């Protein structure tokens, strides 16, 4: 089988680096171009020493002529920039975006949440927001694959099966998420330089974080009731990982054991979702450097309420790993390709 030629735009950010570390292990992909701005002319090993033994191209500035012999483009860029690249795609190129450019189905919603006008609204209909375990089967007919955000991934995976099967109430949900600081990108060190980033916990985006938009958009597809939730993210003094704690009310007659059984049945054929026995305690350390999402359903002191714990590695399952999962589905590669490894 001939290899796909890939271009990675935004190759030196935390997500870009992680993506390259996985792609070099992918036996069906050849990394043809690495693109950047301030990093042009440098080697990717200048940013990640573990890649020094790999034969990889030097970083170049993106231009549309590079697309002539490309099969797939990965964009791990600041919000808005994948829209510009998308205008140059021919019909044979797949774009897999790890930012937010095609996550929202309405250009006006993008303007509301991201404070910039969407510059490729005509291409939104050619894109699919793809959480592989939920709607991955639909992505093959789309040219643009939009990968979910890291927080929404950790929240939607446990909640969608419960919404779909009417096991929980869809109002007054509390979603409390804590992430390693890599989730805020390389600029986090400068932004938090006076806030003791490495030894403190910081709430941010309180009440209005952008990921509210995609959580709401996706959950609405699985209920005809009005949804009401509060999502609050936090940065923690660790590099990677997300733990989301979700407080939610059960529908009448539903028990903790029924919830666990439904989640277990729903994900029984999925390689990367693991449902634990009741009241299991989990930590981000359980998923670091994996493409797994581990979910635990715990009792609360209130009979009709449960507490759901969900952990992922934000750079892999919440980013690069999910992108490769979508690639593997799109091109009929074995699903685990490049996603089982040892560091």
Q: Kindly report the CATH number assigned to the domain that includes residue 114.
A: 3.40.50.720
| pTM score, whole prediction | 0.95
pLDDT of residue 190: 65
Give catalytic residue positions: 150
102-116 pLDDT per residue, tens = 999 999 999 999 999
Q: Are residues 74 and 142 in the same domain?
A: yes
pLDDT at 189: 63
Same domain as 135, residue 183:
no
Say yes or no: 199 and 297 in one domain: yes
52 plus 196 within the same structural domain: no
Same domain, 17 and 166: no
| Same-domain pairing of 129 and 156 | no
> How many residues are present in the chain?
343
Encode pLDDT of 27-71 as tens digits: 999 999 999 998 999 999 999 999 999 999 999 999 999 999 999
Which regions of the chain are under pLDDT 70? 187-195, 341-343
173 lies in the same domain as 258? yes
| Residue 273, domain extent | 151-314
> Residues 77, 95: one domain?
yes
Asked if 192 and 208 sit in the same domain, the reply is yes
Please tell me whether residues 158 and 289 are part of one structural domain.
yes
């Amino acid at each position: 089988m001939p290899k796909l030629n890939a271009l990675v735009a935004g190759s030196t950010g935390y997500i870009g680096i992680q993506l390259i570390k996985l792609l070099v292990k992918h036996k069906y992909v050849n990394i043809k171009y690495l693109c950047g701005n301030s990093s042009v002319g440098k080697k990717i090993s200048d940013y990640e020493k573990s890649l020094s033994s790999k034969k990889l191209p030097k970083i170049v500035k993106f231009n549309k002529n590079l697309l002539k012999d490309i099969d797939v483009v990965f964009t791990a860029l600041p919000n808005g920039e994948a829209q510009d690249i998308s205008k140059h795609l021919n019909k044979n190129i797949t774009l897999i975006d790890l930012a937010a450019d095609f996550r929202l189905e309405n250009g006006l919603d993008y303007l509301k949440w991201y404070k910039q006008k969407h510059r490729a609204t005509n291409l939104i209909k050619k894109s699919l927001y793809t959480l592989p375990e939920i709607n991955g089967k639909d992505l093959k007919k789309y040219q643009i694959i939009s990968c979910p955000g890291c927080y929404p991934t950790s929240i939607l995976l446990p909640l969608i099966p419960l919404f779909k099967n009417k096991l929980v109430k869809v109002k007054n949900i509390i979603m409390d998420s804590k992430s390693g600081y890599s989730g805020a990108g390389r600029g986090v060190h400068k932004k938090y330089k006076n806030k003791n980033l490495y030894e403190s916990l910081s709430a941010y985006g309180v009440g209005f974080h952008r990921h509210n938009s995609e959580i709401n958009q996706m959950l609405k597809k699985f209920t005809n009731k009005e949804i009401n939730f509060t999502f609050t993210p936090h940065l923690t003094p660790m590099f990677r990982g997300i733990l989301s704690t979700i407080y939610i009310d059960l529908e009448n007659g539903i028990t903790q054991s029924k919830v666990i059984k439904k989640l277990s049945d729903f994900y029984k054929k999925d390689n990367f979702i693991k449902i634990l026995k009741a009241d299991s305690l989990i930590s981000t350390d359980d998923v670091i450097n994996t493409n797994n999402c581990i979910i635990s359903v715990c009792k609360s002191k209130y009979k009709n309420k449960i507490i759901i714990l969900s952990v992922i590695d934000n750079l892999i399952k919440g980013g690069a790993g999910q992108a490769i999962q979508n690639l593997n589905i799109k091109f009929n590669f074995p699903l685990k390709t490049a996603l089982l490894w040892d560091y």
